[in-house]
Structure 1
Amino acid sequence: MRTTPPFAPFEWLIAWRYLRAKRREGGVSVMTWISLIGITLAVFALIATMAVRSGFRTEFTNTILGANAHATVYVSPHLDENNRTVRTFSDFDPIAENLRAVEGVVRVAPVVKGQVMASANGRNTGVEVFGERFEDIKTIPLVVNPETQLGNLENFNKGVAIGLGIARELDLALGDKITLISPDGIKTAFGTSPRVSAYEVVYIFGVGRYDIDRTRVYMPMSEAQIYFNRDGVVDEFEVQVENPDDVGRMVEPLMAASGENTLVWTWKNASGGFLRALEMEDNIMFIILSILVLIASMNIVSGLIMLVKNKGRDVGILRTMGLTQGSILRVFFICGASIGVVGTILGVILGCLFAIYIDPIFNFVNLVAGGGVWDPSVRMLSTLPAELQLGDVASAVILSLGLAFGATYFPARRAARMNPVEALRYE
């Protein structure tokens, strides 16, 4: 006796006939459409959300690594032979050479650093000043090639470079003067008087991260040493490495190269908690949105149960014609699985299109809402990022198809076990 192979053409033909059947013909076309739309929207929401979360993570990491040191080497406060507290590096050029000699280090820059008040046009704001040499600042990727730039970095030694947020806050343009006020100024008989100096703005940069654009000022190191009373010394060293993710392994070599009484603070120490929070949020969002896919899959179950009930007579006739339980199971499995497959494909397409065209979509939403939907001072980024990752799309596809196939199996199995005599008894 010849047996038909699984998923034979006639099984697909019967399943397609059932999917197209109207309600008056014993079909459930309305439930079919509801199930299809539900799966599509659930997969779309899952992919879109994961793309935005991946974009956030990548954007934050890129701005952290592109405008900040991967590791910072600084002095642990200690007493010298004269019982004076030491917090700076005095012989810093040899130390910089030792740090550059560490395997895996690609950039070392001595830095004079301080927090001051900036003033211009009757406005004031707090800023963080980084005093660096011109040859060192040219090696900071997001300062040399930012999202937005005004002026020429080649003029750095003639003034200061400021973030775009500072320029907007103080209403500054190229060539304007910015006044820096430090409370740690000149000591006199009447106490310490604030140090006030004005500098020309020669370069304005916007890296796209609010906490950098809004607070950062770069100054020539020689000027910073004079301004902060750091004559012949620096506060710390900025270090960048080949593999930022492996920076923890380099802490001990960096400490050994920088000498005694030094400590190393890595970018993971500073931002690792935030990135771990993003990762945990990714997992939570995936679980929550997986519930949506599960609910959409339940619509397939409801539709198939109704289809099996309405097609009981057909099942009895098909069984008496010689169809096996396996064939009946596959017919109804094809009905449910087809909805899951088509819905998943449509959801993937919509999710990918959303991630690719997120900027015009977001601009439209912002326009309809009257603006102010995205506040960079809260979210730290100037735009809403999105990044498609193959792993995220694959996870959504596997989840959707797995739930759809699993939910389809049980009603199809119930139809396959239906007794043809009972199905035809009252016909």
Structure 2
Amino acid sequence: MIAWRYLRAKRAEGGVSVMTWISLIGITLAVFALIATLAVRSGFRAEFVDTILGANAHVTIYNLGEVDPQTGAIDRTLPDYTEMAARVADVPGVIRVAPLIKGQVMANARNRNAGIEVFGIAPEDLRSIPRIGQGDAHEGRVEDFADGIAVGSGVARELNVSLGDTIKIISPNGVKTPFGTKPRVNAYPVTYIFSAGRWDIDRTRVYMPFDEAQVFFNREGVADELEVMVEEPEEVDKLMMPLLNAAGERAQLWTWRDASGGFLNALEIEDRVMFVILAILVLIATMNIVSGLIMLVKNKGRDIGILRTMGLTEGSVLRVFFICGAFTGLIGTALGVILGCLFAIYIDPIFAFVNGLSGGNAWDPSIRGIYYLPAKLELSDVASAVALSLGLSFVVTIFPARRAARMNPVEALRYE
């Protein structure tokens, strides 16, 4: 009751000071910034990993390779890819296995050129790729893929092509003639345009029917690799030995963690650093509670002396001022949580507004990799922010509250 009266009292009556309001606003903004940052971090990682798992192989199976005695080159193709794919598909936890032909070539359309990476894949396998054959952002019908090629939205923009247009695919390793190797040039209609949600994928990737890719890249009767999708991509390490045993002794595996592990590790380090920095901001905000409480204790010195002479114990006085400081931290934390959650929920219109103010340059997908700023609220993130803010608020409140409790009532009433 006493703490509540002190909190409601006006400044002229020796109540809550300006410093207390400053600390309340500071804690609110600090908790808001912490929750918003954690939500954006979680959303960015979730979106980035989803684009990896939804458009790329969870595990890629290569051949260790054999040296060609005539040319000295290492041949890593898979001549028995059909049998190998059947064995790998029988491994528990594997949901799809697709033979692939891969090659880096150049694409041309109306005097515009672009470097691309061609994936030769069967039409039924393309339809099963979540971010490619099953995505919402696409043009055309994936069923028409067998009649042409599927290109990323970035490739289509770079070459300024749309559905039905023709693209020339140029490979320097083409037809062998008595006068040397002649570049192979074939023209294909664009029958499907996809968007995988990743700038680097949409900007470089083109899919070609598997049979046509075998002919175009001189891979008749062989495949370059096997693309494997599993039920639990996060637990892919547990399937390494079964996959190696099924693929054969000369097989070599490359998981999605191997391909993107460095970037994900960098994200984890950045997350920890950002959490520490924002935790320091929360600490600075909570330190203002100390200033406000010290001023409150000084203003209420006469009251403390009277209460002590009436029989109020040191512990009771400590609780009075502890409640005053803790209540400030509690209200500031609650307001910060509300603002942070609202920011994460309505991040799309907020981002659109900021992007409009900046002239559309607030987010560069060529640098960020993805096309928008995502946010994902995690209960653990909100709980950690609340625990940090309340813990610091309670700890810093103890010092001025103890000072008030140990005040000598004779000294407090000496000049009254």
2:17–2:295 contact (8 Å) kept in structure 1: no
1:20–1:29 contact (8 Å) kept in structure 2: no
Deviation at 1:80, TM superposition (A): 6.6
Query: Which SS does the other structure have where 2:311 is aligned?
Result: coil
2:216 equivalent in structure 1:
227
- Fraction of identical pairs, as percent: 67
1:7 equivalent in structure 2:
none
2:290 equivalent in structure 1:
301
Distance, in Å, in 2 between the alignment partners of 1:162 and 1:288 is: 43
1:374 equivalent in structure 2:
363
Query: Which SS does the other structure have where 2:316 is aligned?
Result: helix
Distance, in Å, in 1 between the alignment partners of 2:58 and 2:174 is: 31
Distance, in Å, in 2 between the alignment partners of 1:246 and 1:116 is: 34
Deviation at 1:20, TM superposition (A): 2.6
Q: Which runs of 5+ in 1 are unaligned?
A: 1-12
Deviation at 1:24, TM superposition (A): 2.4
TM-score normalised according to structure 1 size: 0.95
1:19–1:29 contact (8 Å) kept in structure 2: no
Query: Which SS does the other structure have where 1:371 is aligned?
Result: coil
1:19–1:28 contact (8 Å) kept in structure 2: yes
Q: Which runs of 5+ in 2 are unaligned?
A: none
Deviation at 1:147, TM superposition (A): 4.2
Once the two structures are superposed, what CA deviation does each residue of 1:249-295 show, in whole Å capped at 9, x if it has no partner?
A: 22222222112322000001001111111111111111110000000
- 1:21 matches 2:9: yes
The residue type paired with residue 206 of structure 1 is: S
Once the two structures are superposed, what CA deviation does each residue of 1:169-225 show, in whole Å capped at 9, x if it has no partner?
A: 111100001111111111223322211111100000112111111111111000100
User: Which among 193, 213, 221 is matched to residue 202 of structure 2?
Assistant: 213
User: Which among 295, 305, 322 is matched to residue 311 of structure 2?
Assistant: 322
Distance, in Å, in 1 between the alignment partners of 2:36 and 2:108 is: 43
Query: Which SS does the other structure have where 1:239 is aligned?
Result: strand
Distance, in Å, in 1 between the alignment partners of 2:341 and 2:113 is: 44
1:45 equivalent in structure 2:
33
User: Which among 63, 75, 93 is matched to residue 63 of structure 2?
Assistant: 75
Greater CA drift, 412-421 or 255-264: 255-264
The residue type paired with residue 262 of structure 1 is: A
1:165 equivalent in structure 2:
154
Distance, in Å, in 2 between the alignment partners of 1:141 and 1:47 is: 31
Change beyond 3 A, Cα 1:371–1:251: same
Deviation at 1:39, TM superposition (A): 0.4
Change beyond 3 A, Cα 1:84–1:348: closer
Deviation at 1:95, TM superposition (A): 0.8
User: Which among 19, 22, 31 is matched to residue 34 of structure 1?
Assistant: 22
In the TM superposition, what are the counterparts of 1:134-173 in structure 2 within 5 Å? 134-173=123-162
Query: Which SS does the other structure have where 2:407 is aligned?
Result: coil
Query: Which SS does the other structure have where 1:127 is aligned?
Result: strand
**Aligned-pair Cα RMSD in Å:** 1.3
In the TM superposition, what are the counterparts of 1:90-239 in structure 2 within 5 Å? 90-239=79-228
Deviation at 1:33, TM superposition (A): 1.1
Distance, in Å, in 2 between the alignment partners of 1:79 and 1:184 is: 19
1:4 equivalent in structure 2:
none
The residue type paired with residue 71 of structure 1 is: V
Greater CA drift, 20-29 or 274-283: 20-29
Return structure 1 stretches of 4+ with deviation > 3 angstroms: 79-85
Distance, in Å, in 2 between the alignment partners of 1:421 and 1:312 is: 11
Query: Which SS does the other structure have where 1:260 is aligned?
Result: coil
Deviation at 1:29, TM superposition (A): 2.8
Once the two structures are superposed, what CA deviation does each residue of 1:48-98 show, in whole Å capped at 9, x if it has no partner?
A: 000000011100111100111000001122137988742211121111100
1:78–1:261 contact (8 Å) kept in structure 2: no
Distance, in Å, in 2 between the alignment partners of 1:80 and 1:247 is: 33
Aligned pair count reads 415
